[in-house]
Amino acid sequence: MVAKMRSKKNLKDLLKLDLKTIEAMAPNPFRLTRIDVVVSLQDPEYCKVNRAAMKANKSLYCKEDYAVLERLSKALKQHHSLGKARMKENQGKRTLNEKNTASSPSTGSTLASTSTTKTDIPELPENFKAIIASLKGFDVTFVMQRKLTKTDLEPNNSRLAMPEKQINEECKFLAQKDTEIMRILEARDGKGRLIGMKVGLIEPSGEVCHDQVLKKWNMTSASTYNLASSSWCDIARRNHLKKDHLLNIWCLNDVANKFYFLLHHVGFEPFEPCT
């Protein structure tokens, strides 16, 4: 193939060739590499080219190899379809929020980017709004007000519990039970342990960490979402969280569509040492 390519005068000649001609010059059928998969996940157009290459060279693969590539092709297509649907939904929400903000003389106690809720939404301090802006965050939604318990702060637990019954019913991320998200939160490994979903956390101090894992525990009486990590007790300690303290908990997406939780320590000025 290299010799055939060298016979072309320059790169412009190569770029004029169609996909089938390029494949015919190659000694082996098109095979996805790890970088192909990574780029395909991020770029829908590149994904289309790769999927077309698989389909065009179907006869060159053995039955088993093509079956694997076909499953991957369908997964990539579904991935981008879900991404487009989410982008369209988020754009619609932002447009609706902008209209609501423009038509209202005062935003009251709600954020412009916050979903409309049927519960009283507390005011989010300006410091946190600035952090959200730096993350290019959107879909900022109030989750719940949580009164910390002794078990929330015990080292053996290393988690912050969010009982399902206390979650704001307008919080789509948790209360409305998105099917894809629930599937991830309830998935288990080979030993039956919950795997969970990696999420970010904006601490009461304003520090942003990325090592948290959200898991859903389904129990007989009720279900609970747990924000867990080996660093949770350190987070509670450096933010001076104590039993019976109140946390206003929010969630949001960033520009890369990663989920974050935000903890506002009620009664304490943000980013100031608590006593």
Q: Which helix (H) or strand (E) holds 98?
A: helix 63-103
**Does residue 187 or residue 93 have the better pLDDT?**
187
Distance CA 252, CA 68 (A): 35
Which tens digits make up the pLDDT trace of 91-102?
665 665 555 555
- Asked if 142 and 119 touch (Cβ cutoff 8 Å), the reply is yes
Residues with Cβ within 8 Å of residue 211, at least 6 apart in sequence: 198, 229, 230, 231
Model confidence at 43, pLDDT cuts 50, 70, 90, reads: low
- Kindly list the structural domains of the chain, giving each domain's residue range(s) and its CATH number in brackets, ordered by start: 15-82 (no CATH), 126-266 (2.40.330.10)
- Averaged pLDDT for residues 178-205: 85
Q: What is the model's pLDDT at position 28?
A: 55
158 DSSP assignment: -
The pTM of the full predicted model, rounded to 2 decimals, is 0.55
**Does residue 88 or residue 52 have the better pLDDT?**
52
User: How far, rounded to the nearest angstrom, does the alpha carbon of residue 145 sit from its chain's CA centroid?
Assistant: 22
Q: What is the model's pLDDT at position 275?
A: 43
> What's the maximum distance between 2 C-alpha atoms anywhere in the chain?
76
Q: What is the model's pLDDT at position 113?
A: 36
Distance CA 182, CA 74 (A): 21
